[in-house]
Amino acid sequence: MRPVYSCSPDQAKSLLFSRCFQAVRVCPCGYYNHPEKSCVCLPGLVQRYLNRVSGPLLDRIDLHVEVTPVPFDDLSVKRYTEDSASVRERVQKARFIQDQRFAHSKTVFCNARMRSRMVQEVCGIDQSGRNLLKNAMDRLGFSARAYDRILKVARTIADLEEETLIKTTHQAGQ
């Protein structure tokens, strides 16, 4: 079988990432989902742009973040933001929780590395969490891989908040 890319694994990875970043601009005019300006692209064009990044590739990315332009007035306003030192402290605590969680494993050292069976053991959710996930799966047609990924990210958010149990807010990312 002919390889998809005739290059090293590192080069292939870099190609994949550059395709991911292409997806940042989702339409030719650049105003799709803009808070103030209107997208002038023909119907179907946005979908064609999105289709350039394959579903299976998107399925492997843990977090998709939509970034909209920041108005000038918001940029110039001074507001409280959490400083890097306290974020670092929170991340270190979450990593410590995960070190303890996976102390028995030789191959898994953080939530992101869990295999499906381990996700079932580690990422327990209650009935309302199950309902939320079921609705999302039904409505958005998520794959089994996406299901695991949501639970891993939810477990990580719960770790950052030093919560033992995963709550629906951790699943919904709010």
Contacts with Zn ion by CB under 5 A lie at: 27, 29, 32, 39, 41
Indicate the burial class of 93 (C-beta count within 10 angstroms; 0-12, 13-18, 19 or more).
Answer: middle
Nearer to Zn ion by Cβ, of 38 and 76: the residue is: 38
**What long-range pairs does 88-97 form, CB within 8 A, spacing at least 24?**
90/160, 91/160, 93/159, 93/160, 93/162, 94/156, 94/159, 94/160, 94/162, 97/159, 97/162
Identify residue 123 by its one-letter amino acid code.
C
Task: Using DSSP, state whether 22 is helix, strand or coil.
Answer: helix
Q: What is the DSSP string of 77-125?
A: S------HHHHHHHHHHHHHHHHHHTTT-SS--SGGG--HHHHHHH---
* Amino acid found at 22: Q
